[in-house]
Structure 1
Amino acid sequence: MVPPRIPPGGRRELGLIGWLFCKLASRIAGVPEMHLFTVFAQHRRMFWTWAPFGWVLLRRGRLPGRDTEVVILRVGRVRNSEYELQQHRRIALQRGVDLQTQAAVFAWPAADRLSARHQAMLTGVDELLTTRAMSDETWQRLAGYLDRRQLMEFVMLVGQYDALAMWLNTLGVPMDYPD
């Protein structure tokens, strides 16, 4: 992992509202500091634009939470984003993705424990990450499980967490939980 290139900020770097937001987020997560936020919020305009978008994809989207976490875990695994994986392994458990399913997501395509729905989703994730597009065959498979808005959201979810993984890995954002 890259050492922190931009260290987490404090009240001065984050501004009062950003600092309070980060403190509240840390308390909710049960960690001393949410480093994703204390680094990101140093670019206030970008952070306050991104935060609602990320929240919608994570908690208010059209995809069921279990599907959202399967997608995020796969992106985190393919992109070697330890920060993303550390956060979303925990969230996935809360959203019904047990450890065996998580292991199958990480082992994909060599795993056979996944539902046909999740196999189609992981095929879509891998295609998007590899080719930046999706084949007609995979699109049709996914369309058998997802409606039009869910399909649009699926592609955006993969793109959002791909970009976030790149950002986390490049900036060397420190882990939140001691392992």
Structure 2
Amino acid sequence: MSARITPGARRDVGVATWAFAHVAGRVSGTEPPAVFLTLGRNRRLFRGWLHFAGRMMPGGRLPRRQTELVILRVAHLTGSEYEATQHRGLGRRAGLTDAELDRVADGPDAPGWAPRERLLLRVTDELHATDDLSDATWADLRAELDEPTCIEVLMLVGHYRMLATTLGVLRVQPDRPRR
């Protein structure tokens, strides 16, 4: 499928977004990320979104490894090829092994997860399935994390579900490796 809105050129997204996307591509070893060049077509919204998203990843309260597990689980549950591709690379950089990256698809009941990782995957699954958490899951989350971090986990799951929907509807294609 072809993109419904193609990634913008410098004149479409502005110099700052264009330069940011090119630097991000160099860092990730890909072409400039289509997520930035596509969403950047709405310049005002893009700047606000980038600030918001950056507060959770990479600037969140959770360790990056755990953040990437949540994002990868959302990508799996939503069928977001773009986010799965993008965050497999980021997950490796955060310390996830290839076996762990593959195991994300098996979910929280797969053997090998640390207790907090299993909990975060369970929270992600439950939020995806019901848009809520049972009292038992909430109690487990609160026993493990402080209030600000619990809020962040809920926002992280919701944000990446929203992003997966947007990227899917726009048919944004995964970024190719840099040549």
Same fold (TM over 0.5): yes
AA paired with 1:68? T
Alpha-carbon distance in 2 for matches of 1:42, 1:71: 27
Q: Give distance in 2, aligned partners of 1:94 and 1:140.
A: 31
* 1:98–1:30 Cα change, 3 Å: same
TM-score, scaled to structure 1: 0.93
Give the 5 Å matches for 1:116-155. 116-155=115-154
- The residue type paired with residue 53 of structure 2 is G
Distance in 2 separating the partners of 1:44 and 1:160 = 19
CA shift, 1:116, in A, is 1.8
Matched, 1:13 2:12: yes
Counterpart CA distance in 2 for 1:31 and 1:100 is: 22
Name the CA shift for 1:30/1:101 in 2 (closer, same or farther; >3 Å). closer
Q: Residues of 2 paired with 1:46 and 1:38: CA distance?
A: 13
Given that 1:4 and 1:172 are in contact with CA atoms closer than 8 Å, whether structure 2 keeps it comes out as: yes
| Aligned counterpart, 1:168 | 167
Partner of 1:100: 99
Q: CA RMSD in A?
A: 1.3
Partner Cα separation in structure 2 for residue 26 and residue 94 of structure 1: 15
User: What is the letter of the counterpart of residue 75 of structure 1?
Assistant: V
Task: List per-residue Cα deviations over 1:125-164 (Å, max 9, x = no partner).
Answer: 0111111111110011112221111101000000010101
Cross-structure match for 2:40: 41
Where in structure 1 are there 5+ consecutive unaligned residues?
Answer: none
**1:76-133 alpha-carbon deviations (Å, 9 max, x no partner):** 0000001101011111111111122222221114512212211111111011111111
- Provide the residue aligned with 2:88 in structure 1: 89
User: In 2, Cα distance between the equivalents of 1:106 and 1:78?
Assistant: 8
Code of the residue aligned with 1:35 in structure 2: it is A
What one-letter code is carried by the residue in structure 2 that aligns with 1:49?
Answer: G
Name the residue aligned to 1:74.
73
In 2, the alpha carbon distance for the partners of 1:163 and 1:37 equals 15
**How far apart in 2 are the matches of 1:96 and 1:44?**
33
The aligned residue for residue 24 of structure 2 is 25
How far does the alpha carbon of each residue in 1:49-95 deviate from its partner, in whole angstroms, 9 at most, with x for none?
00011111111111111110110010000000011010111111111
AA at the equivalent of 1:152: I
Identity %: 38
Please give the TM-score of this superposition, normalised by the length of structure 2.
0.93
Q: How far apart in 2 are the matches of 1:145 and 1:90?
A: 27
Cα contact 2:126–2:133 (8 A) shared by 1: yes
Distance in 2 (alpha carbons) for counterparts of 1:125 and 1:14: 33
User: Would you say how many aligned residue pairs link Structure 1 and Structure 2?
Assistant: 177
